Structure 1
């Protein structure tokens, strides 16, 4: 059975899969990234994991994978196949595509940015399915974004397209590690809400999920913290939709797990701010933590279609998970 290898590399864990042509997850596996062992060990761990998946494909399906896709965090040069920089993994200028291709016997390898890859999956297979233009915004430790246009995700001229978390929404506000002040992710990420609620509640162990629960129970302190985050997020989103005019905005990550505790006030906050702009559908992501693997699989299949004429061109709208 024809299949591809998909790898989603995170700061603490790696998720992997063998993905069939119809998007079916034929095999799934997980293991720690092992960043405490250093960047060289992380790279070797990725290569070894991929090789194990290749061997499993041969045993289970009678042939090796036809291609591989890998999603990594940080700054990614997708055209050159280089993982340029990732602070949480400690690497710089790792030629990951070439290393993987060599370990996997020369098969085509696609390298992608983790958020853009997850956005690709949400756009084709998840909450953005059928939308010609979408914006995917996961709210986690930080905030990033993926700009989807006609079934593909835009990387930009230098690989920075979609970095909505570094739109300045509160000029002169909290300093951001990027060097600016008042960036969106300093006010509306899950980690920002956790910090604000821990301070407001006096509980150093409190986090964003605790804040959402307190909001649902009517705690006025929590409501204030939550609304400040929602207002900042709405300011950032309206700037993005003014520039990009997406048909659908997909919100994922930890904060999205709060459900309507987030989406009801957020939709209203965005509605109040728009003037001439067309309101997009604002919806929760649906693929959860499988999005990165599914997106890496899509990257591999897309690459294979350009290198192997025998591979059909499956319509993304017909792919099922």
Structure 2
């Protein structure tokens, strides 16, 4: 029996986060026909890996029941340092793992479950989200774009055509560690004044908590206060937006993207963020032709959708569109 005859026309997709794993079974139309969520294990890296393997096995069993065969591939989006070519999750501060051969482990688990030799591909979570935005979301049809995720930290991804640029060592797009405020707050990376120490969602939340005196205040609280005209909130917001515009101007100078796609938790503020960001970027530019700055379209689904796209890209089956009966 050939691989094409043996394997069913779907893939397994996982987006592994520090608190939640979002997963799906995705057909060749790139649309999930099953979505699940699981809490990420908190008992350490071994437990995290075990949870991933168990969930993949569970999804493979569900796929077999629904589609009559093992998956055509598996795509995994993971945070931190990722060796995509080797399938190794190199390091993640949030998950606590180092040098985990995750692609090989998933492949071995599926083989043990009777699924045979299933291609497994590993991707960086932000680049994977950018891949989905580029093909299915706000970057569809754009030749060159930059996707920036404003969350606990700040990370970026460079889109060229229908692919993402990983760089020579897997570190392309790390805008969060561009120093925009020399001598500023110390970053977890060891530098001072990195963009994510000033303009990430967590940084805005901390600044607003300090300014307002409300312990535990978040970036969302700051955005709400900005919309009411609170002067202190406006000051916090203006500092973050100004720093973000400085970081994006570096991107414009180096990459000259057609579009900048803004996602992550801070982007949930919508035009409260994007309108002043466009104005700040325009005020700083001199000779540069500025990109369009747009919100991400796929929200928290981007990582899982992108993992599905990775799996299809690396599967050994022809991607034949499904026809509804």
Please state which band the TM-score falls in when normalised by the shorter chain: over 0.9
Matched, 1:71 2:77: yes
Please report how far the alpha carbon of residue 205 of structure 1 lies from its aligned counterpart in structure 2 after TM superposition.
2.1
Cα deviations across residues 17-54 of structure 1 (Å, max 9, x unaligned)?
011111111101011111x2111111111011001100
Please report how far the alpha carbon of residue 87 of structure 1 lies from its aligned counterpart in structure 2 after TM superposition.
1.1
> In the alignment, what sits opposite 1:12?
19
> May I ask how many residue pairs the two structures share in their alignment?
309
Cα deviations across residues 59-104 of structure 1 (Å, max 9, x unaligned)?
0111211100001111000010000111111111100011111112
Please report how far the alpha carbon of residue 210 of structure 1 lies from its aligned counterpart in structure 2 after TM superposition.
0.8
Matched, 1:30 2:37: yes
Superposed, 1:206-221 pairs within 5 Å as 206-221=217-232
Q: Which runs of 5+ in 1 are unaligned?
A: 315-321
Please report how far the alpha carbon of residue 273 of structure 1 lies from its aligned counterpart in structure 2 after TM superposition.
1.1
Please report how far the alpha carbon of residue 279 of structure 1 lies from its aligned counterpart in structure 2 after TM superposition.
1.0
> In the alignment, what sits opposite 2:90?
84
C-alpha separation between the residues in 2 aligned to 1:91 and 1:143?
20
SS in 2 for 1:144: strand
Cα deviations across residues 122-170 of structure 1 (Å, max 9, x unaligned)?
1110111111111000100000001001111111111111000000001
Compared CA separation, residues 267 and 313, structure 1 to 2 (3 A): farther
TM-score, normalised relative to structure 2: 0.93
Cα pair 2:312 2:319 within 8 Å, conserved: no
Superposed, 1:85-100 pairs within 5 Å as 85-100=91-106
C-alpha separation between the residues in 2 aligned to 1:42 and 1:213?
35
Cα deviations across residues 287-309 of structure 1 (Å, max 9, x unaligned)?
011101100000001111xxx3x
> In the alignment, what sits opposite 1:293?
304
Cα pair 2:28 2:320 within 8 Å, conserved: no
| Poorly superposed stretches of 4+, deviation over 2 Å | none
Matched, 1:144 2:155: yes
C-alpha separation between the residues in 2 aligned to 1:167 and 1:60?
47
C-alpha separation between the residues in 2 aligned to 1:163 and 1:63?
39
> In the alignment, what sits opposite 1:317?
none
Q: Which runs of 5+ in 2 are unaligned?
A: 1-7, 112-116
C-alpha separation between the residues in 2 aligned to 1:83 and 1:313?
31
Please report how far the alpha carbon of residue 109 of structure 1 lies from its aligned counterpart in structure 2 after TM superposition.
0.6
> In the alignment, what sits opposite 1:198?
209
C-alpha separation between the residues in 2 aligned to 1:90 and 1:259?
32
